[in-house]
Amino acid sequence: RRRPRSGAVYAQYGSTIRLGALARTAGRTGIGCSRRHMCDDIEDCCASSEIASRHDAAVAAGNPTYNDPKTGYSVFTATALAARKKCCGCGCRHCPFNHAAVPVQRRAAKIQTPALLRGSLVELDADAGIDVLLWSGGKDSLLAARALCREHGNKRRLVLLTTFDAGSRQVAHQEVQIDAICEQAESLDLPLVGCPLVPHIPYGTRLDEALRLVQRSAPAPVARVCTGDLHLEHVAAWREERIGPAVRALGATLHSP
């Protein structure tokens, strides 16, 4: 096939999706986990495990804070933060309000729990189910978005959801920084939910939190959680095992367009 020229139109969804704009943002990389020393990784995982233990112990004891194992700083528990009834806007580690008071332009750098990074969920169409596309910033994600946009026509039913490392702010496999993903979502004119991953919270649990954020905020329920895995059977099996239960608990299905 003839390769499309840079800037070639790929789909129409409110604004034009252009290959060139995505290629420029996807080409930006930061410091990846592969460049870190193994001892640093082990230290971080141990610290994260200790964070979970200290947080849970503080909640069980009725204490509002615990001491961070690496810095010694006091950290509010999720229970203590929830008692405030609203987000303080500081990007707290255990924010139960999805960082609602953090300015949108600062969320990519600050959030520690799932939050909306770009666009609006309440402005999605209410007359059909919402599709959530697991967006990594690569070509397979783009091909999946193109197929879904064609299926939706003029309906605004698509939400991008990106998981990334909460420490490095980097998306796995693509080695793209989350701020570049935000630029891609801006180019696509699509809402983007960011889902920071930490070692002490299982992947499926954290993704469930992000999906429930979409479910609560959108005017229609989540119908499908979509991927661009292009029929890779081992990846599909992994997704079914890790996130299948959370997807079905929402009444949704896994889908590869």
Indicate the pairing of strand 176-177 with strand 170-171. Answer: antiparallel
- CA dist., res. 83 & res. 81, Å (int): 5
CA dihedral 237, 239, 245, 251 (to 10 degrees): -110
More confident residue, 34 or 136: 136
User: What pLDDT, on the 0 to 100 scale, is given for residue 78?
Assistant: 92
User: What pLDDT, on the 0 to 100 scale, is given for residue 232?
Assistant: 75
pLDDT digits (tens, 9 = 90+) for 88-100: 999 898 999 989 8
User: Quick one: which of 180, 144, 176 has its CA closest to 159?
Assistant: 144
177, 28 Cβ separation under 8 angstroms: yes
Two structure tokens written together for 120: 């609006």
> What average pLDDT does the chain have?
82
Q: Spell out the SS3 assignment of the chain.
A: CCCCCCCCEEEEECEEEEHHHHHHHHCCCCCCHHHCCHHHHHHHHHHHHHHHHHHHHHHHHCCCEEECCCCCCEEECHHHHHCCCCCCCCCCCCCCCCCCCCCHHHHHHHCCCCEEEECCCCCCCCCCCEEEEECCCCHHHHHHHHHHHHHHCCCCCEEEEEEEECCCCEECCCCEEHHHHHHHHHHHCCCEEEEEECCCCCHHHHHHHHHHHHHHHCCCCEEEEECCCCCCHHHHHHHHHHHHHHHHHCCCEEECC
**Other CB atoms closer than 10 Å to residue 127's CB: what's the count?**
8
Distance of CA 59 to the CA centre of its chain: 26
pLDDT digits (tens, 9 = 90+) for 30-61: 333 333 333 344 344 455 678 888 999 999 99
pLDDT digits (tens, 9 = 90+) for 213-243: 999 999 999 999 999 876 678 888 888 898 9
